[in-house]
Chains A and B, each alone.
Chain A
Amino acid sequence: MSALAQEKEIVVTVETAKQLGLLPEEFEKIKKVLGRTPNFTELSIYSVMWSEHCSYKNSIKWLKTLPREGKNVLAKAGEENAGLVDIGDGLACAFKIESHNHPSAIEPYQGAATGVGGINRDIFTMGARPIAQLNSLRFGDPKSEKTKWLVKGVVKGIGDYGNAFGIPTVGGEVFFDDCYNVNPLVNAMSAGIVKVGETVSATSHGKGNPVYIVGSATGKDGIHGAAFASKDITENSADDLPSVQVGDPFQEKILLEASLEVAKADVLIGMQDMGAAGITCSTSEMSAKGEHGMKIYLDKVPLRQQNMTAWEILLSESQERMLLVVKKGKEKAVEQILDKWDIPYAVIGEVTDTKRLEYYLNGELIADVPAESLVLGGGAPVYTRESKEPAYFSEAKKFSAEKIKEPKDLKEVAKFLITHPNIASKRWVYEQYDSMVGTVNQSTNSPSDAAIVNIKETERALAFKIDCNARYVYADPEKGASIAVSEAARNIVCSGGEPLAITNCLNFGNPYNPEVYWQFVNVIKGMGAACKKFGTPVTGGNVSFYNQSSYEGPVFPTPAIGMLGILDKKNRMTLDFKQEGDLIYLIGEMRDDFSCSEYLYSFHKVKLSPAPYFDLEEEFKVQQAVGSIIKKGLIRSAHDCSDGGLFVTLAESSIHSGKGFDISTDESIRTDAFLFGEGQSRVVVTVRPGDEDKFLHEMMARDVDFCFLGAVMGDEMIIDEEKYFKVDEAKHLYETSLENLLK
């Protein structure tokens, strides 16, 4: 029997629907939409389009409460494949972050590689040329063999794909905690530049316009990837290996060049890449947006293997493919460009005015569904789930700092922290990424808190930062999410920039678990409040639920924030100490607080404590002050206090400059809290002695706490007249510890 005949033999019941991951009520809804029972192919289509991954059914209601408007926003969240922000000079920046957690959990190399490929396609499908990539990675215990395997595979996957694709990886974060042992997080971000008015939309209209599939041939790889992303990881997840796609960065590179050439040629109605749910998703989303329909002939799709069924072709997530809707009469112009780049393509259908998607195979209509009924914002279901405050939340509040004895040897703690994998240099990781191709990375030779990307032949540059301390978010989802946004903004401000907008990647456990849903709801609240305060709308991103295993529970709620900022190059600020004798000041209030710090969590092994001190108003004022003294030229370096506290901040400014420091602590505050506490809203700056009067004058006029710490001096790190490290020695420890751990 042929594959098609077999497919038609399947009798569809609610049991079939459940096997494909649909709920019984969703099956009823489909029957209502169609006015009949769907056949297996149609049911497959609904199962992927209504999966969590494609429909955002359990999150969209809350996502809509986030601030999404802003004067610079050209494409709002959900409107196109990525957010689009006006950056002046007639240019716009398209940027987005996306997760590839589950594929990376079982096949780290291809999982991470195709994550990079997918996010870059979201950018160039809009007609924007990618200029910078970032990533946010989370793994379990770095000492375990499994984690080592995952780290090496993910890093090599990101490197091999991104390096060949030829866009610099300019920033990122790597964080280790046991909660990610089974389910690592791999979030990839890309940003591109396009002239305002020259973007391409993911839309389809105009009856009779031809529909092209462009790029790689379609195979059985990645089938049901979207559905796979929408369930927990179990001991059987390795059986889902065919759900992981395989990447080809060379095909992506020529697809990029050809797509951008086609985009400029005024021949397109619309273009969309094929990611999750493949042909199904791109045809339905483009048709729904343009309020038209399509006839698609699946036998015209170039295939990689024989005997593929209709639903396999429809759901295949083979990489490096695009769907183009071309203006009738412009076929030759399009084909000339594709031929120049030796890219395979085929006309697979045409636009209709029926608003229905009609899929044919060998002359036979095998699926017929209304486009609108499939998509987010259309017929896809929307739910809010039950939410319940977890018991641990009030438990954390019982923490008492007094019970933690201050260690006698704080040098030992300092050494522990600068060699801790969450704090030590990630050099072993980032040197495997090409960070300099494109000749725009201004941070290579001048490090700062955010990555700075030059916009050539203008007075300005872009600033990027990915941030999230998931330990804080676990301790207090609302406050922790506000901190994640604030820290990203603080890093951009400390680099001389102004925050513009964010994209987010919301990694959570199973939304049907009320405690996980409570975390999700509170994260949205905290994120929204901070985004409003900083004027940084959310321009899109990705929700990744089901990050949990059947035996280890959910990961920390991890809302990775990818922030875009802009700066005048004349305001550029860096984090390294500049000159012996410069005065070191702390801007922001020093607090007797080491709650939730790496110090408390890892050194004292206290796993539960409230999030560190944070006040959004105070944070805003600190950032305003730092921005102002940078613009007035009153400081020579700025570096924010984050993981590891003040000591790590000072040590990093030393390590990057080779210059030591000599500071004193404050008797009114526990020395361990002073050095290693992670109270928020603090920035270390250095001031030239000749500028001190002006600096003090400016700071006195502001409602912001600040204090004198000491001076840049010699080649040693000295605290309260005690030598902690020689700078060279600290540099060696800081730069080699991760490498030694992963060996």
Chain B
Amino acid sequence: MKFGVVIFPGSNCDHDMIYVLRKIMGQEVVELWHKETSLQKCDMIILPGGFSYGDYLRSGAIARFSPIMEKISEFADKGGYVFGVCNGFQIACEAGLLPGALLHNSDRKFHCKNVFIKTQNNHTLITSGIPKDKALKIPIAHGEGNYFNDAESLKQMNENGQILFRYCDEKGNITPEANPNGSIENIAGVCNAKKNVFGMMPHPERASDTELGNTDGKFLFESILSLVQA
């Protein structure tokens, strides 16, 4: 499978994602510079984490205007797979590829730590291989990860299976205490209605290398490969 990892100025999780896809998952990966306009026939486009353009205005607000984003929108409209992690999730929301918005964490502080998330829909490209009811340990690292959407949209998203992950405790209980940033309904990850664009705040690429002592994130990449390559 061929992945394209987009590099915006200020991206800083780009090489972590490339390392996991290339060295650990053994896949073909190309780097897509934000000024480019060709997606090089990739099967999936990844918007990595970081601080695109410094994120001084609002996370992802400038990056969505990069030349490559227009092509990515066209690609997604045609059903192409797009996956945004952390800043990539913020950019996808700003670009209208995903519903909702990511606000400042409720305590206004940046948080980097391991959290637990529980899969809410096991029938999507990135979740199908995750053991049902397993609380995945995946790290977060963000200051603006507080997911928000209005009640009507949330209702539709819930009904349509667009909520992918919710923050939970170690045992899988979805509680207010397990919510690290104030996200509405403990939402940690979502997809679009057509289920070809995915976004999440936690970093699965930071939990995919046995040398780091946690490989819960690998379930997501294995899911993608098992469905696309099958």
A237 within 8 A of B: no
Known: A164-B55, A569-B211. A253 touches B112 (CB 8 A): no
B211 touches A250 (CB 8 A): no
B12 touches A166 (CB 8 A): yes
Chain B's closest residue to A159 (CB) is: B110
A446 touches B112 (CB 8 A): no
Interface residues of A in 416-457 (CB under 8 A from B): 431-439, 441-442, 444-446, 454, 456-457
A166 touches B50 (CB 8 A): yes
B19 within 8 A of A: yes
B112 touches A432 (CB 8 A): yes
Known: A432-B112, A434-B141. A441 touches B212 (CB 8 A): yes
B112 touches A164 (CB 8 A): no
Known: A163-B141, A432-B109, A439-B16. A444 touches B212 (CB 8 A): yes
User: Of A156, A254, A435, A454, which one neighbours B10 at CB under 8 angstroms?
Assistant: A254
- C-alpha spacing A248/B10, complex, angstroms: 12
A508 within 8 A of B: no
B206 within 8 A of A: yes
Known: A163-B141, A164-B51, A166-B51. A442 touches B110 (CB 8 A): no
User: Of B13, B23, B54, B214, which one neighbours A250 at CB under 8 angstroms?
Assistant: B54
Interface residues of B in 19-74 (CB under 8 A from A): 19-20, 23, 49-51, 53-56
- C-alpha spacing A515/B139, complex, angstroms: 49
Chain A nearest CB from B211 CB (Å) reads 5
A95 within 8 A of B: no
Known: A444-B114, A456-B19. A437 touches B13 (CB 8 A): yes
Chain B nearest CB from A249 CB (Å) reads 7
Taking A437-B141, A444-B213, A444-B214 as known contacts, 15 extra A-B pairs with beta carbons closer than 8 A to each other, sorted by chain A number, are A163-B51, A164-B12, A164-B55, A165-B12, A250-B53, A250-B55, A257-B9, A341-B9, A434-B112, A436-B139, A436-B206, A439-B19, A444-B114, A454-B211, A569-B211
User: A454 to chain B: which residues have CB within 8 Å?
Assistant: 211-212
A439 touches B9 (CB 8 A): no
Chain A nearest CB from B179 CB (Å) reads 15
B113 within 8 A of A: yes
Per-residue B-contact encoding for A64-84, CB less than 8 Å = 1, 0 else = 000000000000000000000
Chain A nearest CB from B147 CB (Å) reads 20
B222 within 8 A of A: no
A342 within 8 A of B: yes
- C-alpha spacing A166/B55, complex, angstroms: 13
B209 within 8 A of A: yes
User: B206 to chain A: which residues have CB within 8 Å?
Assistant: 436-437, 439
Chain B nearest CB from A343 CB (Å) reads 9
B205 within 8 A of A: yes
Chain B nearest CB from A397 CB (Å) reads 45
Per-residue B-contact encoding for A385-422, CB less than 8 Å = 1, 0 else = 00000000000000000000000000000000000000
User: B212 to chain A: which residues have CB within 8 Å?
Assistant: 439, 441-442, 444-445, 454
- C-alpha spacing A166/B23, complex, angstroms: 21
Per-residue A-contact encoding for B100-139, CB less than 8 Å = 1, 0 else = 0000000001111110000000000000000000000001
Cβ-closest 4 pairs across A and B? A166-B12, A250-B54, A445-B213, A164-B51
B110 touches A432 (CB 8 A): yes
Chain B's closest residue to A253 (CB) is: B10
A160 within 8 A of B: yes
Interface residues of B in 183-207 (CB under 8 A from A): 203, 205-206
Chain A nearest CB from B160 CB (Å) reads 33
B51 touches A249 (CB 8 A): yes
A444 touches B110 (CB 8 A): no
User: B209 to chain A: which residues have CB within 8 Å?
Assistant: 439
Number of A positions contacting B (CB below 8 A): 34
Q: How many residue pairs between the two chains, A and B, have CB atoms under 8 Å in the bound complex?
A: 93
A431 touches B55 (CB 8 A): no
User: A442 to chain B: which residues have CB within 8 Å?
Assistant: 211-213
Chain A's closest residue to B208 (CB) is: A439
Known: A254-B9, A436-B206. A164 touches B54 (CB 8 A): yes
- C-alpha spacing A253/B87, complex, angstroms: 16
A164 touches B10 (CB 8 A): yes
Chain A nearest CB from B33 CB (Å) reads 8
User: A253 to chain B: which residues have CB within 8 Å?
Assistant: 9-10, 12, 51, 54
- C-alpha spacing A159/B109, complex, angstroms: 10
- C-alpha spacing A165/B10, complex, angstroms: 8
A249 touches B203 (CB 8 A): no
Chain A nearest CB from B200 CB (Å) reads 15
B112 touches A431 (CB 8 A): yes
Per-residue B-contact encoding for A321-342, CB less than 8 Å = 1, 0 else = 0000000000000000000011
User: Of B9, B12, B51, which one neighbours A342 at CB under 8 angstroms?
Assistant: B9
Per-residue B-contact encoding for A218-252, CB less than 8 Å = 1, 0 else = 00000000000000000000000000000011110
User: Of A342, A436, A438, which one neighbours B112 at CB under 8 angstroms?
Assistant: A436
User: A156 to chain B: which residues have CB within 8 Å?
Assistant: 109
User: B213 to chain A: which residues have CB within 8 Å?
Assistant: 442, 444-446
Chain B's closest residue to A446 (CB) is: B213
Per-residue A-contact encoding for B54-98, CB less than 8 Å = 1, 0 else = 111000000000000000000000000000000000000000000
Chain B nearest CB from A477 CB (Å) reads 37
- C-alpha spacing A248/B9, complex, angstroms: 13
- C-alpha spacing A445/B141, complex, angstroms: 15
User: B205 to chain A: which residues have CB within 8 Å?
Assistant: 439
User: A457 to chain B: which residues have CB within 8 Å?
Assistant: 23
User: A433 to chain B: which residues have CB within 8 Å?
Assistant: 110, 112
Chain B's closest residue to A251 (CB) is: B54
Interface residues of A in 532-584 (CB under 8 A from B): 569
Interface residues of A in 145-186 (CB under 8 A from B): 156, 159-160, 163-166
Known: A254-B9, A439-B206, A442-B211. A163 touches B110 (CB 8 A): yes
Query: What are 15 residue pairs bridging A and B, where the CB atoms are less than 8 Å apart in the complex?
Result: A156-B109, A163-B51, A163-B112, A163-B141, A164-B51, A164-B55, A250-B53, A253-B12, A341-B9, A432-B110, A433-B112, A436-B112, A436-B203, A442-B212, A445-B212
